[in-house]
Amino acid sequence: MSAHTAAAHAAGHEDGHVHHHYTTTGLDNRKIAIWAFIGSECMLFASLIATYLIYKGKSLVGPFPHTEYVDAAGKVFKPILDIPVTSASTFVLLASSFAMVLALQAVQLKGVPLPTNAGWWTRAQRSSQLWLLVTAMLGATFLGFQAYEFTAFVHEGLTIKTNLFGSTFFTLTGFHGAHVTVGVLWLMSLLWVDRTRGLAGPGDELLVDITALYWHFVDVVWIVIFTLVYLIQ
């Protein structure tokens, strides 16, 4: 740790507010940790996506994702994927990423005076609580879409045990949904902190930055899943 960093570290403890965690690289160890975590998550989702792709088209019984299936009793199963619903949920998740960057920007701009002629959009961009809430609500809406989709699939005869498509589909999208759930809880806790003591300063910026990185990662994973699972036939 350099003399300057050590002094800043000591000063941080004295004033009781700022607690920097700088490493010899000059970078905060928490930000290095979140990027390393995201890197490891790439591996996790790669294994799930690879498993889905390997078993794609190998189910012996339906329902199938893109084609109709008639079983031995003559029961007809329609293609099970509902692209309009999933497209809407994809839009919702993209919008949540937009709200998340605005939340981070709002925290970064705390203390910067607003121009006197600022319009409603400029003013709205300064509310970190608004954008954290919007992000969490959009994340919860995405989860609602997923709950609807899973329920509809089960009613149409596709469960995790039905066929290889069901097993790999529910595992992959279920893992992603679990990540979104963690993200929503994380955002709600950050919103609670913002409401109770306010988020401001470099230390809090980092907290929001780390949350944002996790949230955007969840979004990019869905971008890949949407194309590989839903659109490619």
Partner 1 sequence: MAHDKNHAAAHAHPSGNTYLKIFVILTLITIVEVWAYYIPALVASPLFNPSLIVMSAAKFAIVVLFYMHLKFDHKLFRALFSGPLIIAGATIVALMFLFHKLSL
What is the closest distance, in whole angstroms, from the C-beta atom of residue 232 to partner 1 in the complex? 5
Applying CB under 8 A, which part among 10-18, 89-97, 135-143, 176-184 lies near partner 1? 89-97
Kindly tell me which residue out of 18, 53, 140, 193 binds partner 1, with binding defined by CB under 8 A: 53
Contact in structure between 51 and 168 (CB atoms under 8 Å): yes
Helices (H) and strands (E) in the chain, counts: 7, 2
Calpha distance 130→134 (Å, rounded): 6
The residue among 56 and 157 lying less far from partner 1, judged by its C-beta, is 56
Q: DSSP 3-state assignment of 68?
A: coil
What is the closest distance, in whole angstroms, from the C-beta atom of residue 17 to partner 1 in the complex? 16
Task: Indicate if the alpha-carbon torsion angle 88, 136, 169, 53 is positive or negative.
Answer: positive
What is the closest distance, in whole angstroms, from the C-beta atom of residue 122 to partner 1 in the complex? 8
Buried b (16+ CB within 10 A) or exposed e, 150-172: beebeeebbeeebbbbbbbbbeb
Contact in structure between 103 and 128 (CB atoms under 8 Å): yes
Contacts with 7 (C-beta within 8 Å, 6 or more apart), sequence order: none
Question: Residues 204-233: x/- map of binding to partner 1 (CB under 8 A)?
Answer: -x---x--xx--xx-xx--xx-xxx--xxx
Should residue 119 be labelled a site residue for partner 1 when binding is judged by CB under 8 A?
no
The rounded Cα 199 to chain-centroid distance in angstroms is 21
Kindly tell me which residue out of 6, 11, 50, 114 binds partner 1, with binding defined by CB under 8 A: 50
Residue 188 amino acid letter: M
What is the closest distance, in whole angstroms, from the C-beta atom of residue 106 to partner 1 in the complex? 9
Buried b (16+ CB within 10 A) or exposed e, 50-83: eebeeebeebeebbbbeeebeeeeeeebeebbbe
According to CB under 8 A, which residues from 131 to 150 bind partner 1?
none
What is the closest distance, in whole angstroms, from the C-beta atom of residue 84 to partner 1 in the complex? 8
Should residue 5 be labelled a site residue for partner 1 when binding is judged by CB under 8 A?
yes
Site size for partner 1 (CB under 8 A): 60
Calpha distance 41→219 (Å, rounded): 13
Kindly tell me which residue out of 45, 165, 169, 170 binds partner 1, with binding defined by CB under 8 A: 45
- Which residues bind to partner 1, rule: CB under 8 A? 2, 4-5, 8, 20, 22, 25-28, 31-32, 35-36, 38-40, 42-43, 45-47, 49-50, 53-54, 56, 83, 87, 90-91, 94-95, 97-98, 100-102, 105, 108, 121-122, 125, 202, 205, 209, 212-213, 216-217, 219-220, 223-224, 226-228, 231-233
